């Protein structure tokens, strides 16, 4: 009776978005008299940070400070259509729509600024909310002044419309070929485990991952997705199930006493590196990093269990009972 160390590896290619019957998201941006910009979206932030990264993208594209962008999400009655937050599509789809809307709003802003400053729009520079004439920085104004002028002097809106759509792609009946996603992110995880051959318990010691996610708009939030996905993946691998004896429905879990989510006491060492190879069609080179983070840890842990004690348990979650039964079978 002993504890056995094992190490396993697994990799994932993860699609960003899907095609359905076409996969669109829209955005509207408008400027208030204060010079603040509102971004109207039906897209939802579930905690992954969509509002933050969209504000970053909008601010960058408009040329205004992050703090002057308000992202208003989640009311599908009063906002332009979005297919939703799923398929790791949020930053990619919404970001692209917001860039398009922000460019239109920025153009409207610069047209008013040009009138105000008696200069050609292409001679103006907009940086961090400040506007000046190229080569003559003393001829300057700012977004607030231009917004006031637009509202109260010219009677013009400073606003923009944006949409990004992935076209529907049908499967070619001859070849089976199809273009299902927009880009793909990649990851590899190495799991290190300890398996107790007496109790069947598996302890994950360390999860080390490399992620290729295109350009990171917000590295802290990307890191947050990677860490949380590692823990969720570990739980899918080892403990979480609604029906532990599926297809039998016996012992259906009814509470967190039976449906076992890891606690702060259960987290392994987690380390990761991120590689950035910008995508060709994502906003500023983004690829989706969300759901994929809970993927590669699972087969990596299953492989590590095999490395440790020589049994493949591919029916998830790998409970102590399943490990012991597999060990027993192997010994016969």
Q: What is the per-residue binding string for other proteins in 41-70, x denoting contact by CB under 8 A? A: -----xxxx---------------------
Q: Are strands 159-166 and 183-196 parallel, antiparallel or unpaired?
A: unpaired
Q: Determine which helix (DSSP H) or strand (DSSP E) holds 147, and give its type and residue range.
A: helix 143-149
- Residue 233 Cβ, how far from other proteins at the closest point, in Å? 10
Of 151-159, 187-195, 216-224, 277-285, the segment contacting other proteins by CB under 8 A is 216-224
Of 151-159, 162-170, 183-191, 217-225, the segment contacting other proteins by CB under 8 A is 217-225
Nearest to 202 by CA among 162, 169, 236, 247: 236
C-alpha distances (whole Å) from 66 to each of 93, 295, 314 are 20, 33, 47
- Residue 195 Cβ, how far from other proteins at the closest point, in Å? 22
- Residue 304 Cβ, how far from other proteins at the closest point, in Å? 19
3-state DSSP call for residue 161?
strand
Of 168-176, 188-196, 219-227, 323-331, the segment contacting other proteins by CB under 8 A is 219-227
Q: Does 191 bind other proteins (CB under 8 A)?
A: no
Q: Which of 261, 273, 312, 328 binds other proteins (CB under 8 A)?
A: 261
C-beta of 248 vs 265, nearer to other proteins = 265
Nearest to 231 by CA among 256, 188, 264: 264
C-alpha distances (whole Å) from 151 to each of 90, 93, 146, 156 are 32, 31, 9, 6
Q: Are strands 37-40 and 69-72 parallel, antiparallel or unpaired?
A: parallel
Residue pair 204/234 in contact (Cβ under 8 Å)? The answer is yes
C-beta of 55 vs 221, nearer to other proteins = 221
- Residue 230 Cβ, how far from other proteins at the closest point, in Å? 6
Question: What is the DSSP secondary structure assignment for residue 67, as one 8-state letter?
Answer: G
Q: What is the per-residue binding string for other proteins in 269-298, x denoting contact by CB under 8 A? A: -x----------------------------
Q: Which of 24, 74, 262, 278 binds other proteins (CB under 8 A)?
A: 262
Looking at the annotation, which residues are catalytic?
Answer: 291
Within residues 27-46, the interface with other proteins by CB under 8 A covers 46
**Strands (DSSP E) found in 17-106:** 23-31, 37-40, 69-72
* Alpha carbon distance, N-terminus to C-terminus of the chain: 17
What is the contact surface with other proteins in residues (CB under 8 A)? 46-49, 220-221, 223-224, 227-232, 255-257, 261-265, 267, 270
């Amino acid at each position: 009776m002993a504890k056995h160390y094992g190490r396993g590896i697994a990799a994932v290619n993860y699609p960003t978005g899907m095609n359905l019957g076409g996969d669109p998201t829209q955005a509207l941006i408008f400027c208030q008299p204060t010079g603040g910009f509102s971004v109207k979206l039906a897209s939802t932030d579930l905690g992954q940070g969509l509002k933050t990264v969209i504000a970053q993208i909008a601010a960058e594209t408009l040329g205004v400070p992050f703090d002057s962008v308000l992202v208003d999400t989640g009311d599908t009655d009063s906002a332009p259509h979005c297919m939703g937050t799923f398929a790791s599509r949020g930053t990619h789809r919404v970001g692209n729509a917001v860039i398009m809307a922000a460019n239109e709003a920025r153009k409207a802003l610069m047209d008013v600024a040009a009138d105000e400053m008696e200069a050609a729009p292409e001679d103006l520079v907009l940086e961090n909310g400040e506007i000046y004439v190229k080569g003559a920085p003393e001829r300057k104004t700012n977004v607030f002044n231009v917004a006031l002028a637009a509202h109260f002097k010219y009677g013009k809106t400073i606003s923009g419309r944006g949409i990004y759509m992935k076209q529907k792609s049908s499967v070619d009946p001859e070849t089976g070929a199809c273009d299902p996603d927009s880009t793909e992110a990649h990851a590899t995880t190495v799991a290190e485990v300890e398996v107790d051959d007496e109790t069947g318990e598996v302890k994950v010691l360390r999860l080390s991952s490399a992620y290729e996610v295109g350009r990171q708009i917000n590295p802290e939030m990307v890191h947050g997705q990677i860490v949380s996905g590692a823990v969720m993946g570990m739980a899918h691998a080892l403990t979480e199930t609604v029906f532990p004896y599926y297809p039998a429905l016996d012992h259906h879990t009814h509470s967190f006493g039976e449906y076992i989510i890891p606690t702060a006491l259960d987290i392994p060492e987690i380390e990761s590196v991120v590689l950035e190879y910008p995508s060709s069609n994502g906003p500023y080179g983004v690829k989706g990093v969300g759901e994929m983070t809970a993927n590669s840890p699972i087969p990596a842990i299953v492989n590590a269990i095999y490395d440790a004690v020589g049994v493949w348990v591919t029916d998830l979650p790998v409970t102590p009972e399943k490990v012991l039964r597999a060990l027993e079978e192997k010994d016969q």
